[in-house]
Amino acid sequence: MLFVMNVLPLQASPAVEAPSYLLMEASTGRVICEQNADERRSPASITKIMTLLLIFEHLNTGRITLDSQVVTSAHAKSMGGSQVFLEEGEVQSLDTIIKCIAVASGNDASVAAAEFIAGSEEEFVQMMNNKAKELGMENTHFEDCCGLSDSDDHYTTARDVAIMSRELITKYPQVFEYTRIWMEDITHETSQGTSVFTLSSTNKLLKMYEWTTGLKTGSTSKALYCLSATASKDDIDLIAVVMGSPSNKVRFQDAMTLLNYGYSVSALYEDENKDPLGKLKVAGGVEDEVPLLYEGTFRYLDIDGQNLSQVEKTISLPEEIQAPVERGEAVGEAVYSLNGNRIGSVSILAELSVEKARYGDYLFKVCKLFCSL
């Protein structure tokens, strides 16, 4: 078991200028503080968090790779706002395209990636909306993949931004290899020749806040200044989302205020569940026992100053289970409590499948027993 606590003094609620914000701990998803977190607002380029999430999901399938070649269309080239000045017909690796999105917030790169994955931006946006629905982002609807749209139908909330940010950084932490980049050169190779272009991060927290890991900025005249900021300190990963900040400077200050507040009140309890569980009896199976394993690590975030050394773990298992048993089937749970209150649990799973015994299996068992005697 790993027990992590911060020693900073407890603070009052954070003083934040942004009208809408939310602070979340990533591993547990617990919300530490919020204000107007379900208010629908224009997200500007933090839209690209969902674009990056879908890119990494497709990379995870193995059907595309970081070396895949992405061709820039006329439509992608035509994007205004923040861009990396891709030319029509220009070919870049997907790895470079991700850098252009994550570091420089390139709208042209976002559309090029969307067309590469889905065939068209429209189809990709439908995938974005489907993913938002799957994640339970109840107050989100996308109209484009980069956030340029001023449409009233392109909206999200601080809570939903935190949800998709959490999905991205917990499922695909390799995104930090891109969002931690401050400056990096890429090479344009077009019919006009070869030129070098310097990507410069839009996330100034990389130089302002030492624990920053990402994630994405956004600003338009409608959205004002938005930010989903991620940070890691003392093994605690926080997500601070601010929307509608009045200025570029204020959004970064708001994010630092939220992160500092989060680290001042948070304590994380973590049990990696590496203790052996042994085996569970199986009735009526081809095997008499089945080995057990935990579903995963248990984490609990406390923001109330409780003594986490008092967390108790209780294993709850039946005396036996009836065959058939499927591999990965939940057969019990490890229950965690603090001060007499249940704070969570982790399922205990069957490590192997056990088929139901038939007549021949019983006969084999009898013969095996007879031979042993």
Whole-number pLDDT of residue 245: 97
* pLDDT mean over 283-297: 94
Please report, rounded to a whole number, the percentage of residues in the chain having pLDDT higher than 90: 90
The answer to whether 172 touches 56, Cβ cutoff 8 Å, is yes
Whole-number pLDDT of residue 10: 43
Q: How far apart are CA 209 and CA 38, in angstroms?
A: 27
* pLDDT mean over 241-251: 97
Whole-number pLDDT of residue 369: 54
Whether the per-residue pLDDT at 371 is higher than 90: the answer is no
Please report, rounded to a whole number, the percentage of residues in the chain having pLDDT higher than 70: 93
Residue with the two structure tokens 């030492």: 210
Residue with the two structure tokens 């997500």: 239
Q: What is the pLDDT of residues 47-101, one digit of tens each?
A: 999 999 999 999 999 999 999 999 999 999 999 899 999 999 999 999 999 999 9
Whether the per-residue pLDDT at 274 is higher than 70: the answer is yes
Instruction: Name the helix (H) or strand (E) containing 308.
Output: none
**pTM to 2 decimals?**
0.89
Q: What angle do CA 118, 123, 128 make, to 5 degrees?
A: 95
Q: What is the pLDDT of residues 317-333, one digit of tens each?
A: 999 999 999 999 999 99
Q: How far apart are CA 48 and CA 248, in angstroms?
A: 18
Whole-number pLDDT of residue 303: 95
Q: Based on the number of CB atoms within 10 Å of its own CB, is 357 exposed (0-12), middle (13-18) or buried (19 or more)?
A: buried
**Where does the pLDDT of residue 372 fall: very low under 50, low under 70, confident under 90, or very high at 90 and above?**
low
- The overall average pLDDT reported for the chain is 93
Q: How far apart are CA 110 and CA 102, in angstroms?
A: 9
Whole-number pLDDT of residue 7: 38
Whole-number pLDDT of residue 190: 85
Amino acid letter for position 204: K
Whether the per-residue pLDDT at 362 is higher than 80: the answer is no
Whole-number pLDDT of residue 365: 53
Q: Terminus-to-terminus CA distance in the chain, angstroms? A: 45
Task: Delineate the domains of the chain, giving CATH numbers in brackets.
Answer: 16-265 (3.40.710.10), 279-372 (2.60.410.10)
Indicate which residues carry an active-site annotation: 45, 48, 105
**Where does the pLDDT of residue 253 fall: very low under 50, low under 70, confident under 90, or very high at 90 and above?**
very high
Whether the per-residue pLDDT at 2 is higher than 70: the answer is no
Residue with the two structure tokens 């409608």: 222
How many C-beta atoms surround the C-beta of residue 117 within 10 A? Answer: 23
